Amino acid sequence: MAQGKGKMLKTGKHKTNDPLSFAVGERDRDTLRMVQDALANRRAILAFQPVVQTAATGRPAFYEGLIRIQDRTGRIIPARDFIDVCEDNEMGRRIDCLALELGLESLRKEPALRLSINMSALSIGYQPWKKILNKGLRDDPTIGERLILEITERTAMVMPDQVRRFMDKQQERGISFALDDFGSGYTALRYLKEFYFDILKIDGQFIKDIHKNPDNQALTKAVIAIAQHFEMFTVAEMVENADDATFLADSGVDCMQGYYFGVPTIRPYWDQEHNRQAG
């Protein structure tokens, strides 16, 4: 009797979980269908967020171009709502292609712009992505010096040798590289030494409310010291209030990014100026 009861309980638990698993699976499939439809119809835009210099917070060092997908109603969907489902498959490569294409177009339109674009290390060997990059650099020789490619820590660690070779080649063309979301994964310090990233972006989980979190203060100061040793600029992500900004400035971070300095916008100042001149 006890054995039969145990089987019944186990079966019942399994059945209880099935609806949740089904709902999660359906949500992911709906997300993929939405993204696939948006990419097929080029319903995507970049939202631009300033990365400011700590020594002169009114002057952006560069902007980050954040990919946004639009559904059929025109609703703008941020990357956090779809990237986890798409990043490791073909859809992720196509998203990287479109983000790079839109970023290069912005750099062509605005000669004074310096812009970072996100990419997965998995796109390094993706031929359509490479063709877009090479064409952009051929069409405008100034773009290389103004383009920053941000590679997430997680994907960089998947294929470190390929990433290093890719970076070496592209840095010869003037392109800079940022290691994005540093601290969110498990980067081996020997790789950090070998990669020669130009910029290290400290993950926002350590930055938010850092002024009242001694543990995150210690970790962030250690990261800043490591970056300075390897001659990398540091960017603190998710800076949302004055107290955090003051602590980070006192700690020696080079640049800051977050809502305190500017929200991502699909109507950057250079587009507004171009529209006024056209009018």
pLDDT mean across residues, the chain: 86
36 lies in some domain? no
Say what the pLDDT of residue 59 is. 87
Which pLDDT value is given to residue 28?
64
- pLDDT band at residue 21, thresholds of 50, 70 and 90? low
Name 178's bridge partners. 150, 199
Q: Does the structure show a pLDDT above 70 at 269?
A: yes
Q: CA 172, CA 167: separation in Å to the nearest integer?
A: 9
Q: Is the pLDDT of residue 17 over 70?
A: no
Residue 11 in any domain: the answer is: no
Band of residue 265 on the pLDDT scale cut at 50, 70, 90:
very high
Residue type, 108: R
Q: What is the pLDDT of residue 196?
A: 87
pLDDT of residue 12: 42
Q: Which region among 21-30, 161-170, 243-252 has the lowest average model confidence (pLDDT)?
A: 21-30
Considering the domain boundaries, does residue 208 fall inside one? yes
How far, in Å, CA of 46 to CA of 3, rounded?
A: 59
Burial classification of residue 55, based on how many CB atoms lie within 10 Å of its CB (0-12 exposed, 13-18 middle, 19 or more buried): exposed
* d(C-alpha 265, C-alpha 267), whole Å: 5
Residue 10, in any domain of the structure: no
- Tell me: pLDDT of 255 over 90: yes
Residue that wins the pLDDT comparison between 112 and 89: 112
Per-residue pLDDT tens over the stretch 44-102: 999 999 999 999 988 899 999 999 988 888 888 888 888 787 888 888 899 999 999 99
Asked if the model's pLDDT at residue 5 lies above 50, the reply is: no
* Structural contact between residues 181 and 152, judged by C-beta atoms closer than 8 angstroms: yes
The tokens of 261 are what? 């300095």
What CATH number did the domain enclosing 109 receive? 3.20.20.450
Within a domain: residue 33? Answer: no
The DSSP bridge partners found for residue 44 are 69
What average pLDDT score do residues 231-254 get? 97
How confident is residue 10, by pLDDT bands cut at 50, 70 and 90? very low
Give this prediction's pTM. Answer: 0.85
Distances in Å between the Cα of 64 and the Cα atoms of 56, 107, 159, 193, 200 are 18, 12, 24, 25, 14
Asked whether residue 189 is assigned to any structural domain, the reply reads yes
* Segments forming the whole domain that contains residue 215: 42-278
The confidence score (pLDDT) of residue 198 equals: 96
Q: What is the pLDDT of residues 154-207, one digit of tens each?
A: 888 888 899 999 999 999 999 999 999 888 766 657 777 778 899 999 999 999
Looking at the structure of the chain, the number of domains it has is 1
Q: What pLDDT, on the 0 to 100 scale, is given for residue 215?
A: 96
pLDDT of residue 184: 72
DSSP state of 38: H
Question: Tokens standing for 216?
Answer: 């995150």
